Structure formats: C-alpha cells, structure tokens
Amino acid sequence: MTTANNPLIFALIAGEHSGDLLGAGLVSQLRQMFPQAEFVGVGGPLMQAQGLKSLVPMEDLAVMGVVEVISRLPTLLRHRRVLKRHFLQQPPAVFIGIDAPDFNLPIAKSLKAAGIATVHYVSPSVWAWRQGRIHGIKQAVDHVLCLLPFEKAFYDQHQLAATFVGHPLADRIPFHSDRDAARQQLALQLDNQQRVVALLPGSRSGELKRLGPLFLQAAQNLAQRHPRWRFIAPMISAAREAQFRQLQQRYAPNLAVQIISGEARTAMAAADAVLLTSGTVTLEAMLIKRPMVVAYRFNWLSFLLIKRLFKAAFFSLPNLLAGRRLVPEIVQGEVSAERLATELELLLSETNSALISEFSALHQQLQQDADCLSAEVVATLVKQRSNPHAD
C-alpha cells in the first residue's frame, strides 16, 4: 500500500536513446495513473524530464557487439551490481527493463526471485536468434511488451504473458510528413530539380567508425555523377558531429554535406531518399515514408558469432514487418561505397509509390497507442500484487 512515507516506486532501466523515448512515454502515462509515484533507475534526458531519477549514466549502457561489450564489461557489471542492490533494498512495485536484454534480464531475474513484478518492454529478438533464451526470459519476466505484431505469437507458444502494444513512434510520427515544410525548417535552399539524400551512419561511435567512411564515399561518388544532388547528415551529439567531420576530411574531402545537429526525423522528412544503418532509425524512415537503403557492419568477431546464430530472413525492421524484401539491406562484406551509391541511384530513378503504400499499411498496423497500453499492463500488475485476490 502506498503512503506518504512509503510511496509507490517504479523502477525502469533504458540503455540507449530509443529506450529513453519509450520510457518517457510510459513514465508520463504512469504518472497520470499514480500521481504520487516515484520513478528511479536508468534513463536519458527524456525520462529524466518526466521525473525519473537516473542512478547511473545511460550512455554507459549503450554498447553493441560482442567485442565492444567485453571491453566495457567491468563498468557494465559494476553498474548492474549497484542497481540490483538498490532495487532489492528499496523494492519497486514493478521493475521495467526497456530493451537492453543482456543487461536488464539478469536484474529482472533476481528481482522476480525476490517477489517483485517484472516487465520487459521491447521483446528481445529471440524469434530471430538464440531462441533458447526463452527459458531465461521466462525465469526473469512476468510480462513482455511487444512492439511488433508477430512477436506475441512466439511468447504465446511458450506460455509467457505478452501484449502487442504497437510502437510509440507510430503514434507520434504523423501519417504524412511534409517534405517542403521539413526543408524550410532546415533552411535548405533548393529548386524543384534538386534531390536530397540524408546520411545516417549511426548514433554510436563504433557504428560511425565502421560505416561513416563508406557512407561518405558513396555520397562523394553520387555528387560527382549528380552535381545537383544535396547531402545532409543529422548527428545525435556534438561528439558524433566532430567524429563525422574528421571522417569527412579523411574520406570525402570534396563532398559538400550539411551537418545538422539532432533533427534526424526532420532531415529524413526533407530527403528524397535515406542511406542509414540498421536499427530503430529504419522504422522512423518507414513511418516518415521515405525510400531507404539499409546497411550494417559489425565488428568482425561479433559478425562471425551472430551469423551462426541468426535465424531471421531479414535484419531491417521494414522487411521484418512485411515478411519480405521491401527495402535493400546490405550487410558486412557486401557494404561498399559503390554498392550503396548504385542502390540509391536505383531508388531515386523510381516513383516508389507502391513502396510508400506498403509503408502506410505498416504504419497503421503499428498505431496502437503504445504508451497507454503499456501503462495499463504495468498498472494491472501493480493492482494484482497489491490485491492478489481481486478479479
């Protein structure tokens, strides 16, 4: 029972920017349901703006790839011990791990064993690789909140409670993104004959290091063949912007590219086509209804391990959602500047009206009011634990 001296506590851990976005919407809805509640854990600026007290820096958790995780392992393990100890000493009503399954699920397992309700928001890609993880997930989690429609069936097969909540981005991104308005917002001076390509080589340092040179060289190749094309590159932070400028000076010194601070969605909306890395950003590009070329390169050791275990036919979200190849996806050794340039040229030579119709149908499918549905699942768990004999 919540009292003035013993407030209801919600624990949430997000490991990167996309999780911070999900967590902020969830915290906002839970605060409306439980005005006196406290929110503690790990989150970025969006969750903190909603009142979350972040116990460790979210940036410390934003690590991808096997080798990268190993190099940061001492820090990750230390943070996990601190958080687990805190939550066991000051038990929350519910623990919500937002994505970052390798970090969050061990914490959830300990808390569930201690009688604390646990939720995992964003299904691990257990349907795609390392399917044996389902047994560990069942030990750690009471309920999974699924962003993608086909994920719930997997958990139903394994008798683990799950709810398809849709994707908050599908609720937030308008169904029609105005290209002219976006160009005006970014102060792009263009005529009707000019095409705009947005470059998004990744928000992490490692991604930018692996893909930035190839994206820049592809753009430089295209600029030589199409002198009137314009290139823009939104960067998530000053650090990534500085890294991108250094890569440009080294790999594409003759390329004119406008770097934009933040504003990734506006940049994609302003573009005729997008060259981007795999991840949530591909979903954003799909919801904005822009043709895209998706590329990804892993650390070579990470790729060898993932290649053996990966079961899905595709790795980009538009293709996974459609169950077939909607957009070009190029991975590892196939990624070259010339291949990227050629794929972009093909995209920009077509009307892409059928592709945009497919994107629109997927947008509607994902539009489920995710913040509200997720909060309702969490609130139900709170009520069940506080009154286990209630219907």
71: pLDDT strictly greater than 70: no
Q: What is the mean pLDDT of residues 198-214?
A: 90
* DSSP-derived pairing of the beta strands 273-277 and 329-331: unpaired
What residue type is 119 in one-letter code? Answer: V
Say yes or no: 355 and 374 in one domain. no
Q: Distance between CA 325 and CA 343 in Å, rounded? A: 14
Residue 321 buriedness (CB in 10 A; 0-12 / 13-18 / 19+) = buried
In the prediction, which pLDDT does 382 show?
Answer: 94
What CATH number should be reported for the domain holding residue 122? 3.40.50.2000
In the prediction, which pLDDT does 388 show?
Answer: 59
64: pLDDT strictly greater than 60: no
In the prediction, which pLDDT does 138 show?
Answer: 94
In a domain, 120, yes or no: yes
Confidence at 30, pLDDT banded by 50, 70, 90: very high
pTM across the whole model? 0.82
Say yes or no: 183 and 205 in one domain. yes
In the prediction, which pLDDT does 293 show?
Answer: 96
Give alpha helix (H) positions in the chain.
Answer: 17-33, 45-49, 66-71, 73-89, 101-113, 134-140, 151-157, 168-172, 179-185, 205-225, 238-251, 264-270, 280-288, 300-309, 317-322, 337-348, 353-366, 370-386
301: pLDDT strictly greater than 70: no
Say yes or no: 177 and 118 in one domain. no
Residue 270 buriedness (CB in 10 A; 0-12 / 13-18 / 19+) = buried
Say yes or no: 101 and 213 in one domain. no
What residue type is 120 in one-letter code? Answer: H
Say yes or no: 236 and 301 in one domain. yes
Confidence at 87, pLDDT banded by 50, 70, 90: very high
Say yes or no: 226 and 309 in one domain. yes
Say yes or no: 251 and 284 in one domain. yes
Mean pLDDT of the chain: 89
DSSP three-state, residue 130: coil
Residues 6+ apart with CB under 8 A from 346: none
157: pLDDT strictly greater than 60: yes
Q: Distance between CA 120 and CA 386 in Å, rounded? A: 20
- Encode pLDDT of 324-346 as tens digits: 999 999 987 788 999 999 999 99
Q: What is the mean pLDDT of residues 44-52?
A: 96
Say yes or no: 277 and 198 in one domain. yes
Q: What is the mean pLDDT of residues 313-325?
A: 86
In the prediction, which pLDDT does 1 show?
Answer: 42
Q: Distance between CA 36 and CA 46 in Å, rounded? A: 20
In the prediction, which pLDDT does 203 show?
Answer: 83
In the prediction, which pLDDT does 7 show?
Answer: 82
In a domain, 1, yes or no: no
Give the domain extent around 15: 9-166+368-386
Question: Virtual CA dihedral for 363, 369, 373, 379, nearest 10 degrees?
Answer: 150
Say yes or no: 85 and 40 in one domain. yes
Q: Alpha carbon 310 to chain centroid distance? A: 19
Q: What is the mean pLDDT of residues 38-61?
A: 93
Q: Could you give the number of structural domains in the chain? A: 2
- Encode pLDDT of 212-255 as tens digits: 999 999 999 999 999 999 999 999 889 999 999 999 999 999 99
Listed ranges 99-103, 104-108, 275-279; the one with the highest mean pLDDT = 104-108
Q: Distance between CA 334 and CA 298 in Å, rounded? A: 12
DSSP three-state, residue 65: coil
